[in-house]
Homo-oligomer: A and B are copies of this chain.
């Protein structure tokens, strides 16, 4: 039963649902909106859902701390897919409304951060009121409480609204990254354009500790794509690090990095290797590709056998 169910950060009609629907398998699953990221993830932990789609990073707001902290400190889950969704808002209103009629606008606070410039230029007099979600804002417009809501264009039909303007986004390349999370199991298969995620707790806080950690990546030519420090909750100045790097755990250079991290860190949580949503194949230096590792390993064996 649960294997046919995916939870996601609801309500219905938000960007998260739109992101989830880009996955082919979503067509054959029961998609269940949840009130929060922890709720969506707990359903997976409890075996009530096979996966959960949650936002993890936003190009304007940064890391989604609830998701990062749940993945770092909550019951162990792993990432199997990522979805990158360009963020563009539509301004939705009841049919018949003109842009010049709009005096009050609503949406999620995160939306406000991404349309502020547009508002200043096109509706400088409009009053903003925050809603619990973009979908909730659309509902409030439907109920007549506000004149217009910022939401995904796909939410218009659900709430019987009309898009007054579409493709609104202050920043170029604005996007949100979502991850599909499940219980720990074998990592997703290697595609050649992969990403690996870990959470790292340093053993000690000496001046070069973070440097040593980065050296494990750089020394093997593995590019770090994201690093975020998160408080461990044990006081100001106590952090763990959430890191994404290019490559798959089955790539020798990545496996070596992971083992190196495991040795020098107090703890490492492996969050999975999975296909990159941008499908970019990282450039690998000849001295760090699988052939180089294999050749070095063969040579060491020959040295041990007196045949080098």
Which A residues are closer than 8 A to B by beta carbons?
A: 57-62, 65, 76, 78, 84, 171-175, 177, 184-187, 203, 206-208, 210-212, 214-219, 221-231, 233-239, 249-250, 255, 258-260, 262-264, 268-270, 287-288, 292-293, 295-297, 299-300, 303-308
Contacts and interface: CB of A to CB of B under 8 A. Distances in A.
A244 to B, nearest CB: 9
Closest 9 interchain pairs by CB?
Answer: A173-B235, A185-B306, A259-B296, A262-B296, A186-B306, A207-B223, A270-B303, A208-B218, A211-B214
A60 to B, nearest CB: 5
Given A173-B234, A225-B237, 7 more contacts: A58-B231, A187-B303, A207-B217, A207-B222, A211-B215, A262-B295, A262-B300
B208 A258 contact: no
A249 B219 contact: no
Contact of A65 (B61, B214, B218, B263): B61
15 contacts: A59-B231, A59-B235, A62-B65, A184-B308, A187-B304, A207-B217, A207-B224, A210-B214, A215-B219, A226-B239, A228-B229, A250-B304, A259-B293, A262-B296, A263-B293
A187 B306 contact: yes
With a 10 A CB-CB cut-off, give which of A58, A222, A227, A295 has the most chain B CB atoms.
A227
Contact of A306 (B184, B293, B306): B184
Nearest to A270: B303
Contact of A186 (B174, B264, B305): B305
